[in-house]
Structure 1
């Protein structure tokens, strides 16, 4: 038989030069150079008060290197990061063989807060100095990620009041039952189980009451409506995603086209992207040039946003929700709906019975008269009005005709509630009434607009693919908008450092 040299596995004592483990051109080399020579960490150091007494602490520079290196390797858990500091030679080299406890790492990330924004701004300045920000086109997009919060503990104050009353009533019923059963012999294990259930009910009801006292008002939405609160993280929100409803945050990133540098990163506890555009536009003002173009997806399209962009003179491309149906490049998109998806039932839904539409009514624009499918005359309802940029005439039936009509079920969506039928007929485009939405629609459907949509895809989607896929950020681990925003900025900061390493900073 052939003889081979032995293969050694397991523990082996080897001399290691830690400096030689960090190769130029790598992420860790760029990270160490930036933290040691470029970034100002005095704000972190100002937190420590152990100059004359107290134990020595891990340097903020060391902890920052450990956290960013861990994020770049897809490690999010502080316990796994602690293990990597003990077992990985690369982590030993970057941290100088520091081995902080996982609670120290978790506290450093959790308490970073607004300081993450200062670090992000410093790295962004270095990216600009390296010529990586082109200012030609910025692409805005967001990703919805679960929070460290229970979706089951969401609701309005009225919901929590109702839950508390039900728990208190159940606890009272159990207590009355215990009193009645005290005289009779009972199974000891059963009594202990019921006592634990009673204690749990009383504790949860007390927690609900305490939360209601601490939060005397419901959360308000952008338009003043009530937004559901959450008792584990009241800054998070319920939001719909392609994988169902989650309790989480929306991480928004603004990406420059030249080298895919993230010029702004924000995390918000809302699933409505429309209300997130204004703060992003304000935040990127220092980096926008006079010819910078802003692009975003259909989630940011709204009349208010388009009007605000027009007033500020911002050149933007924001497609509306129906642009794919009008674009011939997406003519085959319906075939994807036929594909199976274990997370979503795409089977055809039962259609509601078809109702009479305006085309079923006999309308004469010359005499301004209208007859319904049953042959009854409808009467003008007010003067002509402008709706969605078009002139329209409205007609309305009478109770005398609509009440006994045998076609009510085919004419009214809710015949048991609606008394009479109303119908509107649209005419020509209203003169001088072109709205910002009309102008944006024309821009999107132009050849340049379609190219901008493609450029937006190529700019921002790979960034989210890197952060979510390669770096495995599938949820936020902290609670509270400030802390989650800091964690999101750290991931985006790590992405920018990768770009700096790729383009040869400190090579």
Structure 2
């Protein structure tokens, strides 16, 4: 008798751990996608296909073609697949067809981690990392370019139709002969391509975006994505502002949009390969075409929430991630709740710092504009006074002071006016000073202009103070000071220090050890499923390495 494939690997091999884990998972959602009446073609066992997919991601393989090759050449893959050999098209279709069910496995594996005692939610760190999309930065197009290209397709079709009608009367036989030649040539090309490539991959794009033949559909999808984005033109912004004021029954605070600002804004673009992806700035590598992948992890580096987003800013994701953590832990059977959420300064807003999420919130704060530059000394002020009087140019003053002429211009505007030097604060007024003044404004006893002159702050700052006094939102300065005081507490300081050792190793393992730096699939739903899958694999490997 031939030997069992299970004899090819040691008993403690990762392949057997993956098989045992899949056997414990509820795969009913996978099986529900297939017919149960016995009709139709045969399919591979979904549990086997899921085990192959999990093991592939555990070993850093995401290409369906490379996985197909591994199923022939790699002993561990053959053990996981029970010596079966699904081709790359089958693997890609399985991953696309069951993307929702695959994302749902994250919660089940998290439940296994909870049962194993690996989840201590005393401190949960939230952070995001930039992951490249399966799309080129150079495939971004403006609305005009997309519309022009789409119109070109229509004109080409119309010209072809017109040419066909004009020549049909006298060239019927020639057309038939040409058609036969074209069909024969197409058949030969198809045969050659089938011999070289086999079946198409089918794993990068959803059906409606796949291939050059559907480029028009992808262009339409890019245009739709542009329409769904918030318009930045002046008219649209003013219409949105009027709608909000009508809903709230009062004027909105803050400066109204200006036409020149709208004209200066960069035109919006959409990617024709993956319209959901965005141009994202990175700290050290310029920009990339990709997604903002969010994760929340415990001090034991177990991922308890994973969401893929198409926004570059982390601020809007703090509350959704905190909510997802609580829901995931409850579903996984962890009843102790979260002790504290910690996040870096990228998540800081007054709303995030004061929101109620059922746990302590510790977010590093950003420096306000008051702290960015100290008031110039008397010698520098004397030079700036000459600039203000027109006795010295900004460039010459910059050479004298050893600074840029831009700095000279900014400081001159800040500390000098038409009547000479202004009485300018070097620090923002404390709440005890400005709250009584703003209360007078709220009661109608003082104008905003008078309050601005008394407190020597900007109109925008006066409006923010007024919002706080009315109880509509917490003042950012007050919220920041409260958070700074909270972070200064020795106990909270120790809690916050655990942030980097909780979440950063997770991203390091995913990007370096698992070699996951680019999504293999396209569109936000597919990317979300893949991000959940790689975080599931991370937790699975932590579960395997846990002491018995």
TM interval, short-chain normalised: 0.5 to 0.7
**Higher-strand-fraction structure:** 1
Say whether 1:501 aligns with 2:487.
no
Aligned to 2:408: 354
Deviation for aligned residue 1:504:
4.6
Structure-2 change in CA distance of 1:212 and 1:121 (3 Å): closer
Moved more, 118-127 or 351-360: 351-360
TM-score when normalising by structure 2: 0.62
Aligned to 1:18: 5
Structure-2 change in CA distance of 1:221 and 1:20 (3 Å): farther
Indicate the SS of the match to 1:435: helix
Structure-2 change in CA distance of 1:298 and 1:423 (3 Å): closer
**Higher-helix-fraction structure:** 2
Which deviations, in whole Å up to 9, do the C-alpha atoms of 1:161-206 show, x marking residues without a partner?
467689999999xxxxxxxxxxxxxxxxxxxxxxxxxxxxxx9996
Indicate the SS of the match to 1:52: coil
Aligned to 2:58: 72
Aligned to 2:15: 28
Aligned to 1:392: 455
Deviation for aligned residue 1:50:
6.5
Residue of structure 2 aligned with 1:273, choices 292, 314, 317:
314
Structure-2 change in CA distance of 1:15 and 1:127 (3 Å): same
Deviation for aligned residue 1:270:
1.5
Aligned equivalents of 2:456 and 2:537: distance in 1? 58
Structure-2 change in CA distance of 1:166 and 1:24 (3 Å): same
Which deviations, in whole Å up to 9, do the C-alpha atoms of 1:231-274 show, x marking residues without a partner?
322222111113121121111111011x2111111111121111
Deviation for aligned residue 1:130:
1.1
Structure-2 change in CA distance of 1:102 and 1:204 (3 Å): closer
Structure-2 change in CA distance of 1:164 and 1:44 (3 Å): closer
Say whether 1:220 aligns with 2:230.
yes
Moved more, 350-359 or 434-443: 350-359
Residue of structure 2 aligned with 1:249, choices 291, 298, 315:
291
8 A Cα contact 2:353 2:362, kept in partner: no
Deviation for aligned residue 1:313:
4.8
8 A Cα contact 1:254 1:262, kept in partner: yes
Which deviations, in whole Å up to 9, do the C-alpha atoms of 1:20-69 show, x marking residues without a partner?
34444443232111111x10111101112274233321111111111111
Aligned equivalents of 2:325 and 2:339: distance in 1? 11
Deviation for aligned residue 1:121:
0.9
Aligned to 1:298: 345
Aligned equivalents of 1:129 and 1:357: distance in 2? 63
Say whether 1:383 aligns with 2:437.
no
Structure-2 change in CA distance of 1:155 and 1:297 (3 Å): farther
Unaligned runs of 5+ in 2: 159-212, 241-264, 331-335, 372-402, 425-446, 463-467
Aligned equivalents of 2:312 and 2:141: distance in 1? 16
Deviation for aligned residue 1:392:
2.4
Aligned equivalents of 2:222 and 2:22: distance in 1? 45
Moved more, 472-481 or 151-160: 151-160
Residue of structure 2 aligned with 1:236, choices 259, 263, 277:
277
Deviation for aligned residue 1:128:
0.7
Aligned equivalents of 2:413 and 2:137: distance in 1? 41
Residue of structure 2 aligned with 1:444, choices 468, 473, 487:
487
Structure-2 change in CA distance of 1:158 and 1:95 (3 Å): same
Aligned equivalents of 2:106 and 2:461: distance in 1? 56
Say whether 1:318 aligns with 2:363.
yes
Aligned to 2:40: 54
Say whether 1:83 aligns with 2:125.
no
Structure-2 change in CA distance of 1:171 and 1:280 (3 Å): same
Count of residues in correspondence between the two structures: 388
Say whether 1:485 aligns with 2:531.
no
Indicate the SS of the match to 2:323: helix
8 A Cα contact 2:130 2:293, kept in partner: yes
8 A Cα contact 2:277 2:524, kept in partner: yes
Aligned equivalents of 1:208 and 1:284: distance in 2? 35
Residue of structure 1 aligned with 2:113, choices 127, 130, 138:
127
Structure-2 change in CA distance of 1:17 and 1:267 (3 Å): same
Aligned equivalents of 1:42 and 1:296: distance in 2? 37
Which deviations, in whole Å up to 9, do the C-alpha atoms of 1:274-318 show, x marking residues without a partner?
1122221111123284551001122111223223x2x44531111
Deviation for aligned residue 1:215:
6.1
8 A Cα contact 1:66 1:94, kept in partner: yes
Aligned equivalents of 1:453 and 1:124: distance in 2? 24
Say whether 1:459 aligns with 2:459.
no
8 A Cα contact 2:124 2:338, kept in partner: no
8 A Cα contact 1:65 1:95, kept in partner: yes
8 A Cα contact 2:222 2:271, kept in partner: no
Deviation for aligned residue 1:94:
1.5
Deviation for aligned residue 1:446:
4.1
8 A Cα contact 1:164 1:205, kept in partner: no
Indicate the SS of the match to 1:252: strand
Structure-2 change in CA distance of 1:221 and 1:240 (3 Å): farther
Structure-2 change in CA distance of 1:96 and 1:235 (3 Å): same
Aligned equivalents of 2:536 and 2:98: distance in 1? 14
Could you say what the CA RMSD is over the residues aligned between the two structures, in angstroms?
4.1
